[in-house]
């Protein structure tokens, strides 16, 4: 029982940090520019709250709905230059460790846990902008 009380805080802190993350929520982004958000039609407001974007949306609408992209790239087409916002899904890594030692008149045991969002990354969405508006939304096919 004494060991459990000592281990739980050690395990809880990294787990809470991993779950809460450092990213902003959709609601945080909406509240940061609430005045602009309230000028959007109700259907677009609802889509933004649900993380849905469609062709014709502005960069501000996409940012409110999805947050900051992981990568921004420019690419030339026959007609124009496109800006591509790339969003990634990160698979968390979780590791545990237990160790012990004995000495002359003492023994001890220790535990550890590590959580990282630096695991495998997969492209979850690409948003293509032309003339500062969403031209297309590309999602990888799930085979």
pLDDT tens per residue across span 24-82: 899 999 999 999 999 999 999 999 999 999 999 999 999 999 999 999 999 998 888 99
Specify if 143 maps to a domain: no
Q: How far apart are CA 54 and CA 137, in angstroms?
A: 7
Q: Is residue 88 part of a domain?
A: yes
Helix (H) or strand (E) holding 41: none
129: how many CB neighbours lie within 10 A of its CB?
A: 20
Task: Answer whether 18's CB lies under 8 Å from 117's CB.
Answer: yes
What is the predicted pLDDT for the residue at 87? 94
Q: Which long-range contacts (CB under 8 A, 24 or more apart) does 89-94 make?
A: 89/121, 89/122, 89/123, 89/124, 90/117, 90/118, 90/119, 90/120, 90/121, 91/119, 91/120, 91/121, 91/122, 92/18, 92/116, 92/117, 92/119, 93/117, 93/118, 93/119, 94/18
Question: Does residue 129 form part of some domain?
Answer: yes
What is the domain extent for residue 109? 2-138
Domain assignment of residue 72, yes or no: yes
Are 23 and 63 in contact by the 8 Å Cβ rule? The answer is no
- Whether residue 30 is contained in a domain is answered as yes
The reply to whether 61 falls in a domain is yes
**Predicted confidence (pLDDT) at residue 137 exceeds the cutoff of 80:** yes
| pTM of the predicted structure, to 2 decimals | 0.65
Per the structure, the count of domains in the chain is 1
Calculate the dihedral angle through the C-alpha atoms of 132, 133, 137, 138, rounding to the nearest 10 degrees.
Answer: -30
What pLDDT does residue 20 have?
A: 45
Residue 124 lies in a domain: yes
Residue 51 lies in a domain: yes
The number of helix segments (H) and strand segments (E) in the chain equals 5, 6
Residue 4, pLDDT score: 53
Query: 42: number of CA atoms within 13 Å, CB side?
Result: 0
**Burial class for 137, CB neighbours closer than 10 Å (0-12, 13-18, 19+):** middle
Q: Partners of 99 in the beta sheet?
A: 110
């Amino acid at each position: 029982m004494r060991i459990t009380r000592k281990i739980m805080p050690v395990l809880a802190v990294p787990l809470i940090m991993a779950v809460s993350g450092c990213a902003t929520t959709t609601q945080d982004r909406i509240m940061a520019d609430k005045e602009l958000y309230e000028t959007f039609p109700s259907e677009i407001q609802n889509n933004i709250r649900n993380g849905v974007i469609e062709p014709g949306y502005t960069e501000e609408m996409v940012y409110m709905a999805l947050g900051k992209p992981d990568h921004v790239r420019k690419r030339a087409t026959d007609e124009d230059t496109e800006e591509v916002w790339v969003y990634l899904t990160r698979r968390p890594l979780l590791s545990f460790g237990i160790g012990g030692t004995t000495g002359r008149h003492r023994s001890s045991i220790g535990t550890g846990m590590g959580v990282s969002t630096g695991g495998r990354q997969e492209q979850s969405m690409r948003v293509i902008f032309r003339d500062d508006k969403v031209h297309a939304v590309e999602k990888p096919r799930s085979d």
